[in-house]
Amino acid sequence: MAPLYLALYEPDIPQNAGSLMRLAACLGITLEIIEPAGFTLSDRALKRAGMDYIRLAEIVRHLSWEHFWAALNGRGSRLIVLTAHSPFSYTDFSFTKGDTLLVGRESAGAPEAVHAAAHARLRIAQRPETRSLNVAQAAAMVVGEALRQTKGFPQ
Cα 56 to chain centroid distance, Å, stands at 17
Cα distance between residue 56 and residue 24, in whole Å: 9
Residue 155 lies in a domain: no
Amino acid letter, residue 59: I
Domain that holds residue 54: 5-150
Parallel/antiparallel/unpaired status of strands 79-82 and 100-103: parallel
Q: How far apart are CA 115 and CA 19, in angstroms?
A: 24
Q: How distant, in Å, are the alpha carbons of 119, 121, 138 from that of 85?
A: 15, 8, 14
Q: What is the pLDDT of residue 31?
A: 96
* pLDDT at residue 1, rounded to an integer: 73
Share above pLDDT 90 across residues of the chain, in percent, rounded to a whole number: 73
User: What would the pLDDT profile of 70-85 be if each residue is shown by its tens digit?
Assistant: 999 999 999 999 999 8
**Amino acid 39: pLDDT:** 79
- Could you please report the per-residue DSSP string of 81-140? EE-SS-SSBGGG----TT-EEEE-BTTTB--HHHHHH-SEEEB----TT-----HHHHHH
Count of structural domains, the chain: 1
In a domain, 87, yes or no: yes
CATH number for the domain spanning 104: value is 3.40.1280.10
Q: What is the pTM of this model?
A: 0.93
List the single range of 50-64, 79-93, 112-126, 130-144 with lowest mean pLDDT.
Answer: 50-64
Residue 110: predicted pLDDT: 96
Is 19 among the domain residues?
A: yes
